[in-house]
C-alpha cells in the first residue's frame, strides 16, 4: 500500500469515542449527520480521527447495520473478453454504469467464469440487487442469483416468469427484416446464429435444437424467422441454420463458409448479430461474391461499424437497454408485480441487401 500507517488497522469508531470521552453515537453522527452535533465537537472528532489515523466508518460494518450495500451486481456469464469486444455489450455496460452513477451506487462485476461453475462468487457479492445480462436459462450462476433475497432484472435473456426484464421485441424486430427479404424475393436463405446452448456446436442446427435453445433471444429470432418464411411459402425444415459458439468476426466468417459451401444456392445470409454478419461479409469477399449483387447479408444490433459499412440490420438502443435495466432495478418499483420493458427497434436498410441474383437477371437480364 505504501504508507506504513495505513497498514495497522486499529482505530475504530469505538476507540475514537473512548479517546474523546464521548459516545459512539456522537462519533457516528460526526460522519453521517453533521447537523446532529455542535460544529465544535464535530471538528474535534474529525481532528482526533486524523490524529489517530481513523479512516472513517468501515463500509462493511455499516452495510451490515444498514442492510444496504450501495452496489448492484452484474452477472454476465459470457467470457469477459467477448463482452468487452462486442460493441453491443459495451453499450449495455455503459448504460448500466451510467444509471448506477446517477444513483451513486457501485457496479459490481461478478466473476463468473463460463467454464467452472463457481457459483460462490454470486453468494459472496455484497450487493443490493442484480442485473443479469444475456445468459442461458440453465445457467447455474443465474440460479444462484435468483436464490438470493434481492431484486433482479434480466436484460435480453432468459425470459423468466415473474422476473423483471428489459429487452427488445426480438421476434417483431426480426420479422420486419424477414419481410424485407421476402419482399426482395429471397426464398433460399441461410441463417448464421450465435450459440444456442452451453454446449459447443459449431455446426448446422437441427429443428429440435432450434426449438430447445437455452438462449431465448436466439430461439425467439429463429422462431420468428421460421414463421415469416413459412408464411412466404418456404419450408423452414429446408433452411440451413449454422450455429457459432464464439461470438467473433472470424467465427462469423467460418460459419458463413460452412453455410455457403454446403448450400451455394443460398441468396441471403441472415445473421443474428452484426459481428457475425461482418464475418459473413468477409467470407463473401473471400469467395468473390459481390454484396449485394451476388449475396445479401444482414445483421442484428446496429453497432457503429455496421452502420459505417452500410449493413442492413436491425438497430436496437443498447445503451438505453443498460440504463433502463439499472433504473428499473434501482427504482422504488415494487418488484412484486414484475415489469417487462420493451425497447424499440429499427430496421436499417443498408447496401448489403438486394433482390437475389436470379430475380435481378429476370428483371434486368444477365
Partner DNA sequence: ATGAAAGCGCTAACAT
Partner DNA sequence: ATGTTAGCGCTTTCAT
Residue ranges that bind DNA, judged by CB under 7 A: 9, 12-14, 21-26, 28-29, 31-32, 36-38, 41, 56-58, 61-62, 64-67
Q: Which of DNA, a copy of itself, none does 140 bind, CB closer than 5 to 8 A by kind? A: none
CA distance 222 to 207: 10
Minimum distance from residue 109 beta carbon to a copy of itself (Å)? 4
Q: Which is nearer to a copy of itself, 117 or 203 (CB)?
A: 117
Evaluate the omega torsion of the peptide bond into residue 206 and state whether it is cis, within 30 degrees of 0. no
Question: What nine digits make up the cell of 8?
Answer: 495497522
Task: Write down the residue that cell numbers 429446408 correspond to.
Answer: 238
Q: At how many degrees (to 10) do helices 13-20 and 24-32 cross? A: 110
Half-sphere exposure in the Cβ direction for 100 (13 Å, CA): 23
Minimum distance from residue 41 beta carbon to a copy of itself (Å)? 21
User: 204 has which bridge partners?
Assistant: 242
- In the complex, which residues of this chain contact a copy of itself (CB under 8 A)? 1-4, 6-7, 9, 55-64, 69-71, 73, 80-81, 84-85, 90-91, 93-94, 97-98, 100-101, 103-113, 118, 120-121, 123-126, 146-152, 160, 162-164, 335-336, 338
Q: Work out the number of other CB atoms within 10 angstroms of the CB of residue 344.
A: 11
Q: Which is nearer to a copy of itself, 301 or 360 (CB)?
A: 301
Q: Are 73 and 108 in contact (CB under 8 A)?
A: yes
* 284-309 exposure pattern, b = at least 16 Cβ within 10 A, e = fewer: beeeebebbeebbbbbbbbbeebeee
Q: Which of a copy of itself, DNA, none does 147 bind, CB closer than 5 to 8 A by kind? A: a copy of itself
Question: What nine digits make up the cell of 119?
Answer: 457459483
CA distance 236 to 228: 9
Minimum distance from residue 47 beta carbon to DNA (Å)? 14
Q: Which is nearer to DNA, 26 or 267 (CB)?
A: 26
Q: Which of a copy of itself, DNA, none does 13 bind, CB closer than 5 to 8 A by kind? A: DNA
Q: Which of a copy of itself, DNA, none does 12 bind, CB closer than 5 to 8 A by kind? A: DNA
Q: Which of a copy of itself, DNA, none does 309 bind, CB closer than 5 to 8 A by kind? A: none
Q: Which of DNA, a copy of itself, none does 338 bind, CB closer than 5 to 8 A by kind? A: a copy of itself
Minimum distance from residue 325 beta carbon to a copy of itself (Å)? 14
Minimum distance from residue 11 beta carbon to DNA (Å)? 8
Beta strands of the chain (E only): which ranges? 71-75, 106-109, 130-133, 152-155, 164-168, 189-194, 241-244, 268-271, 296-298, 313-315, 340-343, 346-348
Q: Which of DNA, a copy of itself, none does 29 bind, CB closer than 5 to 8 A by kind? A: DNA
Residue 32 is classified by DSSP as: H
Phi, psi of 247 (to 5 degrees): -95, 80
Q: Which is nearer to a copy of itself, 120 or 212 (CB)?
A: 120
Amino acid at each position: 500500500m505504501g504508507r506504513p500507517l495505513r497498514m495497522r488497522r486499529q482505530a475504530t469508531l469505538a476507540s475514537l469515542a473512548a479517546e474523546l470521552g464521548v459516545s459512539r453515537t456522537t462519533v457516528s453522527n460526526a460522519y453521517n449527520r453533521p447537523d446532529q452535533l455542535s460544529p465544535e465537537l464535530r471538528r474535534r472528532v474529525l481532528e482526533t480521527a486524523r490524529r489517530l489515523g481513523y479512516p472513517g466508518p468501515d463500509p462493511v460494518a455499516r452495510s451490515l447495520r444498514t442492510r444496504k450495500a450501495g452496489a448492484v451486481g452484474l452477472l454476465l456469464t459470457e467470457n469477459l473478453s467477448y463482452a468487452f469486444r462486442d460493441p453491443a455489450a459495451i453499450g449495455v455496460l455503459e448504460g448500466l454504469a451510467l444509471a448506477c452513477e446517477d444513483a451513486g451506487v457501485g457496479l459490481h462485476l461478478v466473476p463468473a467464469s463460463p467454464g467452472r461453475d463457481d457459483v460462490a462468487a454470486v453468494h459472496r457479492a455484497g450487493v443490493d440487487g442484480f442485473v443479469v445480462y444475456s445468459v442461458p436459462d440453465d445457467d447455474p450462476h443465474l440460479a444462484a442469483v435468483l436464490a438470493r433475497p434481492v431484486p433482479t432484472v434480466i436484460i435480453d435473456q432468459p425470459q423468466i416468469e415473474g422476473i423483471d426484464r428489459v429487452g427488445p421485441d426480438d421476434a417483431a424486430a426480426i420479422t420486419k427484416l424477414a419481410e424485407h427479404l421476402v419482399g426482395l424475393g429471397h426464398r433460399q436463405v441461410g441463417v448464421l446464429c450465435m450459440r444456442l446452448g452451453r454446449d459447443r456446436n459449431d455446426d448446422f442446427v437441427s429443428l429440435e435444437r432450434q426449438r430447445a435453445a437455452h438462449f431465448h433471444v436466439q430461439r425467439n429470432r429463429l422462431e420468428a424467422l421460421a414463421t415469416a418464411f413459412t408464411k412466404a411459402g418456404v419450408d423452414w425444415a429446408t433452411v440451413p441454420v449454422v450455429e457459432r459458439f464464439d461470438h467473433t468476426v472470424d467465427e462469423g466468417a467460418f460459419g458463413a463458409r460452412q453455410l455457403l459451401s454446403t448450400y451455394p444456392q443460398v441468396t441471403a445470409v441472415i445473421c443474428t448479430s452484426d459481428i457475425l454478419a461482418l464475418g459473413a461479409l468477409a467470407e463473401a469477399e473471400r469467395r468473390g461474391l459481390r454484396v449485394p449483387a451476388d449475396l445479401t447479408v444482414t445483421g442484428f444490433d446496429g453497432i457503429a461499424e455496421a452502420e459505417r459499412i452500410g449493413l442492413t440490420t436491425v438497430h436496437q438502443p443498447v445503451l438505453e437497454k443498460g440504463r433502463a435495466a439499472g433504473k428499473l432495478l434501482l427504482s422504488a418499483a415494487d418488484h412484486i408485480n414484475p415489469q417487462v420493458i420493451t425497447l424499440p427497434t429499427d430496421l436499417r436498410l443498408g447496401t448489403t441487401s438486394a433482390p437475389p441474383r436470379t430475380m435481378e437477371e429476370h428483371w434486368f437480364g444477365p
